[in-house]
Chains A and B, each alone.
Chain A
Amino acid sequence: MAARVVKVVRPAPTTKQWLPILIGLGVASAHFFRNLFGFIRGRQDFTVNFPEQRFVQPPAMRGMPVLVQMANGKERCVACGLCEWACPTSCITIFPAETAAEVERFPEVFDIDMARCMFCGLCEEACPEEAIVMSRQVEISSYSRRGSLWRKQDLLVPEAELKPRLDYLRAQYARK
């Protein structure tokens, strides 16, 4: 159970110089025919035809951060500002406000500048309300810089759609 130091073996140069080339050709042909027959048989091996087919993403996948929308159409966020504080790139902007409703604090403005966001997930980790989570959405390109600024209304996603991520989060960040 320890590390051993070994010398790498440098294979002696072969006198039959055509042999390695034939071997290489054989390896490449094997790959070629395997892929060809796999393609004919419809094997889904490595690449996917992107817009029609999608990757199966693992549950841990971190896409762009979105806000959880509760059943009553409101956001769950209470504008505590922790995500804004934790964000290394300072891409979240929150202006809090208050209402007379049951949850009295809410963000009047909740913007994320997606041009600066790096999908690090610290906002999600900091949020004490499970209100901002990393979705699976990654296709967020836009033509202008203005388009990369996501407002609160754009960011809200119904809770039901985020259920897998929320379940994953509860397991991921749970402690004894």
Chain B
Amino acid sequence: MPESNPPAPAPPTPPTPEPSKLMAAILERVGALVEQWHAEHGDDRIHVARENIVAVCRLLRDSPELAFDMCLDVTAVDYLGNPDGFITPSQVWDENRAAWRHLPQSRHRLVQPPRGPSPRFAVVYHLLSTSHLHRIRIKSRVPEDDPTIDTVSSLWPGANWLERETWDMYGIRFNGHPDLRRIYLYEEFVGHPLRKDYDKQHEQPIQEYVGPGAKEPRRPQVEYAGPERKNTQRPD
């Protein structure tokens, strides 16, 4: 069930034959705003354009038969160079064992594929209804050159911290967020570490202390080369 590229207006054609009961209810309420929907591994998922995210979320929260009153999670996925996610038929795996993939040689280097044509990020919301006990995942694509999306923290205050985390880790700005600071890292941190082009071994510059007493010279930095690490070099 290959997704079509979001830039081309994707018709809301259901890729699976029958929507689940929940999905039918959702499509009835917000069907006009849903770009695509999927049911994968038993999880229902809808794709929404980023302009509509607040409208969709408000409808999902306020309709009594949906009543998604808990925002479990907000995160993002960086599809760098993999424009449409990884929706390839999963039967491959069942049918032949010849489909073992070749892996990059180095475990600690990420393969950097070329950038694809469609938006790079997807912001992912997981919602739960505590009264009906059903769940939905909402995905919304966000392009690299303008990584912004509207905040849903006015609907669920719990999304406040989650969006701060997404900003911190992926650099996606949430318009209208009341308090968009970094949450895990310090303000001077350069870059957003969960982006795929942020190398795992990347080192951050040392930040100067700016509090009182900052005028005094800092303790000189001792150059420490570390112990001789024989075990990382091959003997010749």
Contacts and interface: CB of A to CB of B under 8 A. Distances in A.
Contacts of A111: 230-231
Interface in A42-57: none
B17 interface: no
Range for the number of chain B residues in contact with chain A: 10 to 19
Contacts of B227: 144-146
A95 B234 contact: yes
B204 interface: no
B227 to A, nearest CB: 5
A98 to B, nearest CB: 15
B232 interface: yes
B232 A95 contact: no
Contacts of A93: 231-232
Per DSSP, chain B at the interface is loop
B104 interface: no
B206 to A, nearest CB: 22
Interface in B85-111: 107-108
Q: Which among B107, B231, B234, B235 has the greatest number of chain A C-beta atoms within 10 A?
A: B231
Contacts of B232: 93
Interface string B149-172: 000000000000000000000000
A90 interface: yes
A95 B233 CA distance: 10
B69 to A, nearest CB: 19
A108 B230 CA distance: 13
Given A144-B227, A145-B227, A146-B227, A90 B234 contact: no
Interface in B201-230: 226-228, 230
Contacts of B226: 145
Nearest to B107: A90
A60 B231 CA distance: 30
A149 interface: yes
A111 B230 CA distance: 9
Interface in A118-150: 144-146, 149
Interface in B110-130: none
A109 B227 CA distance: 18
Q: Which 6 A-B pairs have the closest CB atoms?
A: A93-B231, A111-B231, A145-B227, A146-B227, A113-B231, A95-B234
Interface of A: 90, 93, 95, 108-109, 111, 113, 144-146, 149
Given A144-B227, A149-B231, 16 more contacts: A90-B107, A90-B108, A93-B231, A93-B232, A95-B234, A95-B235, A108-B235, A109-B231, A109-B235, A111-B230, A111-B231, A113-B231, A145-B226, A145-B227, A146-B228, A149-B230
